[in-house]
Amino acid sequence: MPEIAHKGYAPTIWESLADAPHPSISFQSSFWHSVAPAGPVCTRLEGEARTETAIVGGGFLGLSTALHLAEAGHNVTLLEADEAGFGASGRNTGFVVPNLLTGLDPRYAKEKFGPEKGDLLVRMLGEGGDLVFDLIKRHEIDCWGKQTGWMQPIHTGKKTAWLEDRVKQWQDLGRPVKLLSRDEAVAETGSEAYHGAFLDPTGGHINPLAFVRGLAHAAVKAGVTLHIDSRANEIGKKGSEWHLKTDHGTLIADRVLLTTNSTGGGLAPKAEGTQFPITLFQVATQQLDPELRESVLPNDRCSADTRKDLIAYRWTNDNRIVTGGLLANPLGSLERGRTHHLGRLQELLPQLPKLEPEFAWQGRLAAARDYMPRLMRLGDGAFSAIACNGRGIAMTTALGRKLAYWLSGGANEDLPLPITAPDPVMFPKLAPLAFSVWLPLSRHQDAKDIRE
């Protein structure tokens, strides 16, 4: 049995920061929000309703699972506290990355989960980019989707052997990845700072909010009942049925899947406590001269390098550059979030003119201790899945399809993850502070690596 959460949700200071009423960082003021088509018209849950499968959380993972379940003929209801894509799914940089974080690779996944589960996981992830762009095509989602490739350039020559090994591991799985030489990496990124790069041509970039809204449209069309403004604030089991209570109604289900990451508001505290919430800042520049595309990302790929405090950037359709990342202390850092990451990009790409933060916003991702996805059992027929860890779009969309097959009656052996009990971190309330300690140390290490 899961713990029953408190009734009446109150956001923490970290969640309040993520949506503070500052015009440059609110959800509505993000660049993606300014250009994304509207989501489907939905209502909140009122009164009592019954469903076969209840999904909580209207991001990539929840909507992908719901869509694929409905397409398989199952009755699905999804509860979203705000609107589809309101959390990390609608606020990120829009990179479609069919890969794991720096330092993790297929070998690590197989050591972590065993050879069979590890192989299923990395193969699922490797196919994630193609799945995203296939969904975009199949459901005619207007989200500026560009399957032009994702690059991971190395910021120091010391990582050359690591890069060669990483490329080989993915090539051994049959993936069409490539190793770029130093000259090729410089030409592809526009920066003289790089010494080579990992290239996966099946990756790319999208407007993430438009994509998640497109998934919501497709899910509703397939038969999913989607309730917005319906935060689940209490969960419990009566007999063989699960009861999810909101402020205005109750949803009764045979089974439940939580996909809220760390933003469940205490609905399943132990599962939420397995993650570190991380505040990220995103910036979109003013529109730039299109001729700059000839020297900066000339093939319209997206790039995220191997620094611990990585530098990531991409073009938008209207000639802006989007970048972003961490700040050591998110408290009181709203204005710093507007300028810090542009300064880093300006140093990396000196050919750029003075960059202005025409749009700036922030959000929160969640990372497990090992930066790997998890599927946790909360009780008989209730589960919580986490998958983001900084590689959200491809990973969560692909895992959603796998979870849908499993919830439809597929064998546990086909799951790319073991089912585990929640294993919260020690002192979970202090978890948001962890990266304020980690980041300065990481920046020091990055600078040392580059000097050497």
pLDDT digits (tens, 9 = 90+) for 205-226: 999 999 999 999 999 999 999 9
Contact of 356 with 285, CB cutoff 8 Å: yes
Sites in the chain below the pLDDT cut of 50: 1-25, 332
State the pLDDT at residue 431.
Answer: 60
Cα diameter, the chain: 66
CA dist 300 → 33, 72, 231, 263, 398 (Å): 22, 36, 38, 33, 24
| Cα atoms in the Cβ-side hemisphere of radius 13 Å centred on 365 | 25
The three-class DSSP label of residue 252 is: strand
Whole-number average pLDDT of the chain: 89
State the pLDDT at residue 28.
Answer: 87
| Cα atoms in the Cβ-side hemisphere of radius 13 Å centred on 366 | 24
CA-based angle 386:390:392, to the nearest 5? 60
What digits encode the pLDDT tens for the residues 50-67?
A: 999 999 999 999 999 999
- Element housing 218 (H / E): helix 208-222
Domains delineated in the chain: 13-92+209-275+370-435 (3.50.50.60)
State the pLDDT at residue 7.
Answer: 36
Assigned token pair, 249? 């109604």
Q: CA Rg, the chain, in Å?
A: 21
Assigned token pair, 287? 């529109």
Beta bridge partners of 302: 150
Assigned token pair, 12? 């923490």
d(CA 356, CA 31): 13
State the pTM of this model.
0.91
What digits encode the pLDDT tens for the residues 170-219?
A: 999 999 999 999 999 999 999 999 999 999 999 999 999 999 999 999 99
Assigned token pair, 72? 């398989």
Of 29, 100, 103, 25, the C-alpha closest to 324 is 25
Exposure string over 337-363, b if 16+ CB within 10 A, otherwise e: bbbbbbebbeebbeebeebebebbbbb
- Provide the CA 245 distance to its chain's centre, in angstroms: 27
